[in-house]
């Protein structure tokens, strides 16, 4: 699914109107109908609903929604906010339609004091149709007063297309007034700003509504940003053929662990084998290998000469994919191992955790990274590798530039993990939940991606599948477990079911 910016969204609407063809008013009606179908599944028919409408096209959506809800016998009132003297043409048309149907269902607000004239309760449902995606400056005046009134007094707020006050392509200032929605119903495409952690309080969840924009748009708009879901990942999955053997699915090497961080070894190794690698060798210190052999006898081992931390690089000639980093620490001897690996490897490479921290202290080594090396940092690790960032959008922009400059793949982990490719494209992941915010989750992801690389997926496909299936397995696990109690091992145990559902 494409993620479009303001200009691309405007083009998509205009192209649909011209080439379907359909009038802009009919397209607004279609969008409002999609919203109503979602709203009636979320709101009890006994609830009081107040639709706050602006005078632009987002307000036109709101007036159409109010009319359709009234036609379904909902207790609905439209609140016209007179922040401007002029209606858009389509907004005025829908205002007039509602006025003709039920004039007493419209209440106008021209000043902050007018808000006190409406009988609200905190249990009422608010629909935010004040402003849409075209906003390019912070709210002020009456609009700001209304937004702050809604935020202060109501718990259930449904925003139409985007919460009023939010910028969809850039970063808001911390003191900007933005609707705190409980759900956002957005049209056809997710918006970039919804996927940034800094906006989690304004867009805690969103639903993408298909409003039937022209099918040719996917080919006409050369979007470089995408939101990936189950259907996209299913198309990437290749099934095992009957006449195959373990050699057909590659040999992975994981360099992980030290004397005090042995769990990372078992977690990443088990995830790797659960993700399809035909063979796996783990290189680590002796005590970590001892623990691994008790938990995962299917893995092979390579024991480092040092008993405390990794100080030597095994022979690399037999491997199709290599991962380094989980639990290795940052000793100088271990750093030397990473440097040798970067210079000598010719196969797919995943760099995670302490290996990233070593890189951040030796940034000249970035020039050694083989093409399509996969880096899997969390935000703080990425900031150490690059620079400190003041916002998530800034960090994401740096990640895109970093991937393009160094010809690598950056997996910036988070609620909607972003994957920045060396060709300038980027992908946001739709699966997963907050139960993954726990030690070991990143080790599991490293193992999953490494297993997929070993079995023959290209680096971009391995990352897209790996990130999605990691989150999907967590979603399956939390159907029976709480997010609080979710462990990385629980996620790994659900990988089989996750792959089964994707292959089906």
Residues 6+ apart with CB under 8 A from 42: 158, 183
Q: Provide the pLDDT for residue 295.
A: 92
* Closest among 298, 257, 262, 259 to 281, alpha carbons compared: 298
Residue at token pair 């209440």: 107
Q: Provide the pLDDT for residue 504.
A: 84
| 307/331 Cα distance (integer angstroms) | 13
Show the tokens assigned to 491.
Answer: 């996620």
> How are strands ordered across the β-sheet holding 300-303?
225-228, 426-429, 418-420, 409-412, 374-375, 348-351, 321-324, 251-255, 279-284, 300-303
Pick the CATH number of 248-503 from 3.40.605.10, 3.40.50.150, 3.40.1190.20, 1.20.1300.10: 3.40.1190.20
Q: Provide the pLDDT for residue 471.
A: 98
- Give the C-alpha distances (Å, rounded to integers) separating 113 from 108, 116, 117, 142, 251: 12, 6, 8, 10, 71
- Counting as low any pLDDT under 50, the low residues of the chain are none
Q: Provide the pLDDT for residue 90.
A: 98
User: Which tens digits make up the pLDDT trace of 397-447?
Assistant: 999 999 999 999 999 999 999 999 999 999 999 999 999 999 999 999 999
Do 6-223 and 248-503 fold alike per CATH? no
Phi and psi at 118, nearest 5°, equal -100, 135
Please name the CATH architecture into which domain 6-223 falls: 3-Layer(aba) Sandwich (3.40)
- DSSP states of 123-164 as a string? TSEEEEES--TT--S---HHHHHHHHHHHHH-SEEEEESS-T
User: Which tens digits make up the pLDDT trace of 266-299?
Assistant: 999 999 999 999 999 999 999 999 999 999 999 9
Q: Provide the pLDDT for residue 105.
A: 97
Q: How many CB atoms lie within 10 A of CB 162?
A: 29
Q: Provide the pLDDT for residue 122.
A: 85
| 184/191 Cα distance (integer angstroms) | 11
**Model-level pTM?**
0.96
Query: Domain map of the chain by residue range?
Result: 6-223, 248-503
Phi and psi at 49, nearest 5°, equal -115, 130
């Amino acid at each position: 699914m494409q993620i479009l910016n303001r200009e691309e969204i405007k083009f998509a609407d205009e192209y649909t109107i011209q080439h379907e063809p359909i009038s802009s008013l009919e397209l607004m009606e279609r969008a409002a109908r999609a919203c109503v179908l979602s709203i009636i599944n979320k709101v009890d028919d006994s609830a009081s609903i107040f639709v706050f409408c602006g005078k632009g096209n987002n307000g036109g959506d709101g007036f159409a929604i109010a009319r359709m809800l009234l036609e379904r016998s909902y207790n609905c009132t439209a609140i016209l906010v007179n922040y401007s003297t002029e209606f858009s043409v389509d907004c005025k048309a829908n205002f007039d339609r509602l006025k003709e149907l039920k004039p007493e269902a419209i209440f106008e607000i021209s000043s902050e004091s007018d808000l006190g004239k409406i009988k609200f309760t905190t249990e009422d449902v608010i629909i935010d149709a004040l402003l849409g995606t075209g906003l390019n400056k912070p709210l002020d005046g009456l609009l700001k007063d209304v937004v702050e009134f809604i935020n202060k007094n109501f718990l259930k707020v449904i925003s139409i297309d985007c919460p009023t006050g939010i910028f969809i392509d850039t970063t808001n200032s911390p003191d900007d007034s933005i609707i705190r929605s409980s759900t956002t119903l957005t049209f056809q495409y997710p918006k970039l700003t919804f996927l940034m952690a800094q906006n989690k309080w304004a867009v805690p969840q969103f639903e993408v509504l298909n409003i039937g924009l022209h099918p040719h748009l996917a080919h006409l708009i050369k979007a470089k940003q995408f939101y990936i879901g189950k259907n996209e990942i299913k198309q990437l999955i290749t099934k095992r053929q009957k006449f195959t053997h373990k050699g057909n699915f590659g040999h992975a090497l994981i360099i992980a662990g030290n004397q005090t961080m042995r769990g990372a070894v078992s977690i990443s190794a088990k995830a790797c084998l659960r993700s399809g690698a035909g063979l796996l060798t783990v290189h680590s210190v002796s005590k970590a290998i001892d623990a691994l052999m008790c938990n995962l006898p299917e893995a092979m081992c390579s024991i480092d000469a040092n008993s405390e931390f990794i100080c030597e690089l095994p022979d690399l000639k037999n491997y199709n994919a290599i991962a380094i980093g989980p639990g290795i620490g940052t000793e100088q001897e271990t750093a030397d191992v990473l440097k040798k690996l970067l210079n000598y490897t010719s196969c797919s490479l995943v760099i995670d955790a302490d290996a990233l921290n070593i890189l951040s202290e030796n940034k000249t080594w970035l020039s050694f990274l083989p093409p399509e090396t996969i880096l899997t940092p969390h935000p703080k690790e990425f900031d150490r590798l690059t620079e400190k960032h003041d916002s998530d959008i800034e960090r994401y922009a740096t990640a895109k530039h970093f991937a393009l400059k160094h010809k690598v793949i950056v997996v910036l982990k988070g609620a909607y993990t972003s994957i920045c490719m060396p060709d300038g494209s980027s992908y946001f992941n739709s699966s997963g939940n907050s139960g993954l915010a726990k030690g070991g989750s990143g080790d599991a992801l490293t193992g999953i991606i490494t297993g997929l690389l070993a079995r023959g997926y290209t680096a971009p496909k391995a990352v897209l599948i790996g990130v999605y299936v990691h989150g999907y397995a967590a979603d399956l696990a939390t159907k029976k477990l709480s997010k609080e109690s979710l462990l990385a091992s629980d996620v790994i145990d659900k990988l089989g079911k996750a792959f089964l559902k994707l292959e089906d």
